[in-house]
Amino acid sequence: MPDAMRPVLVIGSLNMDLVARCTCLPTMGQTVFGDDFFTAPGGKGANQAVAAARLGARVAMAGCVGADEFGRALTNGLRGAGVGTDNVLSVDRPTGTALITIDAQGSNTIVVISGANAACDIALVERALAGVDDPGILLLQNEIPAEATAHAIRVAHAAGWFVILNPAPARALAKELLPLIDIIAPNESEATAITGLDASDRAKARVAARRLVSQGARGALITLGGDGAIYCDPARCLHCPAVPVQAVDTTAAGDAYLGALGAALAAGRELPDSLGFAAAAAALSVTRLGAQPSLASRAELADFIARHGTPTPEALPR
């Protein structure tokens, strides 16, 4: 991408994913046989950074790993994808991990052990933001301490960054932070937890998105899996359909979406076009196994779009 394009900075988590595949997810107290096991680099922050970088964005990552094999593998994976790692710090804690179980339909359950991610602090946030000459797109999630995320929102907004918060996993958000967020981007369950409103379908998600906007968010984007995504801001509401595909593994689909959205906005694309581009990136990711292994290069996504098209967002009543 040309240097004139806006930079993308991701402040967030890095995890090594420990993945078990099985026919069905176990219920409470049940033991099931698995079909396969593998490890793959992950963590919402690292996933979004890799997704944006593979699509050509100029990306830097800030976060913490342990001084262990997993930490070295995650850092090397970021570098291999073209992500700047000057602010990926090695700390005296084990690297974060995620225990993931995937069923035959591609649905999953995930347990995250924060480890080194808990060491991501305000000092690292300030160092990362100060290390970028011109403000661009900031991607944040909720897998690092809340104090670090809140500080990043405040400082980045004041400096002119376009702030995207993926509030996953869901936790309480100070209402004074919402007006500082350009796009808050939960999935349906996270939107329900944050707003107290059912966001399980398109119509309900529109109401929940409008609630977030009425509370101060500049824009609210609720992803709905196979039913696409709802976006609302004070001037409009849009529904962007998903690209229909056969899902193999939905792990990191939301990260593929947000990384692609950040890359598109950094490239100067308008928001509706960026939503369609992100939908295509997410669709391609669910046809592949693993978190970062599922994330497309620019050439791979271009080929996918040539075959499947890019969805066009449709206006909804406000």
* Mean pLDDT by groups of 10 residues along the chain of 318 residues: 78 95 92 93 96 98 98 98 98 95 88 96 98 96 98 98 97 94 97 96 97 97 97 98 93 95 98 98 95 95 98 93
pLDDT recorded at residue 4: 65
Amino acid at 208: A
Q: Which of 25, 28, 30, 78 is nearest to 54 (CA)?
A: 78
Q: How far is CA 148 from CA 49, 51, 52, 142, 144, in A?
A: 18, 23, 22, 10, 7
pLDDT recorded at residue 2: 43
Q: Which of 37, 46, 38 is nearest to 256 (CA)?
A: 46
What distance in Å separates the CA atoms of residue 233 and residue 219, rounded to the nearest whole number? 4
Please pick, among 3, 36, 255, 273, the residue that the annotation labels catalytic. 255
272: Cβ–Cβ under 8 A, 6 or more apart, which residues? 238, 240, 312, 313
276: Cβ–Cβ under 8 A, 6 or more apart, which residues? 240, 310, 311, 312, 313
pLDDT recorded at residue 105: 86
pLDDT recorded at residue 108: 85
Backbone angles phi and psi of 102, in degrees to 5: -120, 130
Domain segments of the chain: what residues? 8-13+43-95+116-316
Quote the DSSP letter at residue 187.
Answer: B
Give me the CATH code for the 8-13+43-95+116-316 domain, please.
3.40.1190.20
49: Cβ–Cβ under 8 A, 6 or more apart, which residues? 8, 10, 12, 59, 60, 61, 78, 81, 83, 139, 259
Q: Which of 111, 97, 98, 100 is nearest to 66 (CA)?
A: 97
Q: DSSP string spanning 47-70?
A: HHHHHHHHTT--EEEEEEEESSHH
Is 255 a known active-site residue? yes
pLDDT recorded at residue 1: 41
Q: Which two tokens stand for residue 231?
A: 């976006």
